[in-house]
Amino acid sequence: MKALLEIEHLTVDFVTPAGYLPAIRDVSLRIGTGETVCLVGESGSGKTVTAKALMRLIDFENGVITGGYVRMDSVDLTALPQEEIRRWRGKRIAMVFQEPMAAFDPIFTVGSQIAESMVRHHVASRAEAWERGIGLLRKVGIPEPELRMKQYPGELSGGMLQRAMIAMALACGPELLIADEPTTALDVTIQAQILQLLQELKSEFNMSILLITHDMGVAAEIADRIIVMYAGEIVEQAAAEQLFREPQHPYTKGLLQSVATLESDRGAKLYSIDGSIPSLSALPGGCRFHPRCPFATEVCEEERPPLADIGGGQVACWHAGALAHSGRWKTAFASGASETAAARVSRIVEPEEDEAALLPTSNLIEAHELTRHFPVKQGFLRFGRAGAHIRAVDQVSFSIRKGETFGLVGESGSGKSTLGRLLLQLDRPTSGRVRFDGHDLSKLTAGNLREVRRNMQMIFQDPFGSLNPRWKVGDLIGEPLAVHEGWSGRAKRERVEPLLAAVGLNPAWYDRYPHELSGGQRQRIGIARAIALRPKFILADEAVSALDVSVQSQIVNLMQDLQHRLGLTYLFIGHGLQIVRYISDRIGVMYLGKLVEIAPSEELFRHPAHHYTRALLASIPVPDPSRKRTCSAIQGEIPSPAHPPSGCRFHPRCPAATARCREDAPELTEVEAGRWAACHYPA
């Protein structure tokens, strides 16, 4: 295959007051014409830095290319001045960013920004560019493209905006499309649509794609070849099927083993790679993975392994080849961390509490016809009639048993987070009621509600955004103790340090600040804060969605250990369906403000009753290139909750819809013992 792009020995440093900080070192890779190459690895591996370096965007972020070259059509892009590189950027090489709102200017229409790149690169006149932009929006599956061209970025949904950014990247017909985590923040249904779209566009335009992701299922779905990065270096690269079938590097094997699949044994712990990726300022010598590697030897600590040809791929490991076929290889990846969180938690929980916690019996939470409607503000009346309401949650009834994990899934906009906030009374319902441990929360005084809330805690999706950056770790974890128990000083410290140990953090980090810790470590702070008062119930709202797969498995194992030792009850909200299946006892499926199905976890995944549930499951990427999905992704996006469809709210997207579905709204009824579905024709 002819090489479109060649990167040889690329090295990038960041300029800091203390001198140069190494970001990536000696990175070499090739991308062939019409080939899809995936860069995978944990956050901090250097994937995005590599992509920005080859587009020379790193120049604007205090980055300096200190070695190697990037060559396209025999032209060294690292040697070109910025004025010249602008002619390549957008026209020959285009980039789709992870966050579309950051890529679009909010004060200009979508159409003007798509047309601008074509005019700037002299591809078309402004009138021609506008018409071509309409065609591009239509090609990427956006309905009413003439209208969308005139709208502003804030008026489009996340899925539509991601498609519009792809259209903008394609405007000048680039030969190479770089997609940096284009589906990470999207629901599985929209993710499936975007991946399908990228594959169709690649064939139509004969493009090459460099896809950056930490989702191994996405890589298996779309990649021809996969390159694994760790701490700024390439540790393995091979054809996709070969890498998934026979990974050679311990880090690659660890990543693949950490992925929760639909076949994962829910009775066993998820595998997780010990520790976390090192910071750029404290990179270890020798093999950079050796502090976390179960096979590290003295040579690994002292000498850096070269990227060598092994079995049709390239691997940077002193023991590659021999390890992958040894008994130690299989044994080392059979289980997770050596010391479980349960052992650490036992230091702060008395045995009699532990035994009592393992007996789930009655309901802890009961929601009855819970409803939350938000009035449409005056400034948005042009999108609807006066007096319109957003029906975020609409007559939802369900219960959560003591000691169980109730999973809640559904696309963004389905009302999952709003429902969670209603249970915690962080938002008051329009109607309906919530009973918690026998108490009707709507009838409690402010003082009594405050006392009940000590037993209801929350773990947020964004650990950094939910923690005060000016507070030390000890103060963040100890705040509930100060508010509800009045603890301070040494007494608070003596309680917080065991909590740090319980969630796998060093008690000496009591005086650190959140920015000094990794994303996974910050999430552990959020968990320690949530369990500080030994609550009965914890709402985990997308608590692992933004984390790497290896960190995800660590956090899920920790949450399960804490549940068993402390008798916790969870509401686990997520869009990573494999993780939700693994951790949940029962699962509820929400669509446009309503629960459409409730079932035991295994039963729901084996035999979904609602057609929406079936569509969600069909959209899950399988981390195995030999088992690519044959089901087409669910079409369209979730309708506006301000104007839900009549009858069954899913009928505009349902392949089994009939006239009855369009007219009559189905009730949530028990279709089998313990299984509920809101469908006229349950599967």
pLDDT mean values, one per 10 residues, the chain (683 residues) = 91 92 94 95 91 93 94 92 91 87 88 93 92 91 89 84 89 92 79 86 90 90 95 96 94 93 88 86 94 94 94 92 80 58 45 44 92 74 58 95 96 90 94 94 89 92 83 94 89 93 89 86 91 94 84 90 93 92 96 96 95 92 78 72 91 94 95 94 89
483, 491 in Cβ contact below 8 A? no
Phi, psi (rounded to 5 degrees) for 198: -60, -40
Distance CA 584, CA 446 (A): 32
HEC per residue, 132-190: HHHHHHHHCCCCCHHHHHCCCHHHCCHHHHHHHHHHHHHCCCCCEEEEECCCCCCCHHH
Token reading at 287: 């093999």
Residue 499 has what pLDDT? 92
166, 154 in Cβ contact below 8 A? no
Q: Which helix (H) or strand (E) holds 677?
A: strand 675-677
Crossing angle (nearest 10°) for helices 519-531 and 473-485: 10
Question: Considering the entire predicted model, what is its pTM?
Answer: 0.87
Distance CA 530, CA 527 (A): 5
Q: Which residues contact 281 (CB under 8 A, 6 or more apart)?
A: 21
Residue 72 has what pLDDT? 93
- Residue 201's nearest CA partner among 160, 182, 173, 239 is 173
Which spans in 185-296 are helix H? 188-205, 216-222, 240-245, 250-258
Distance CA 384, CA 373 (A): 15
Distance CA 39, CA 44 (A): 12
Token reading at 382: 């042009």
Residue 361 has what pLDDT? 62
Residue 185 has what pLDDT? 66
Range 305-308 contact pairs with CB under 8 angstroms and sequence separation of 24 or more: 307/28, 307/234, 307/235, 307/237
Residue 380 has what pLDDT? 44
- Residue 179's nearest CA partner among 197, 205, 157, 204 is 197
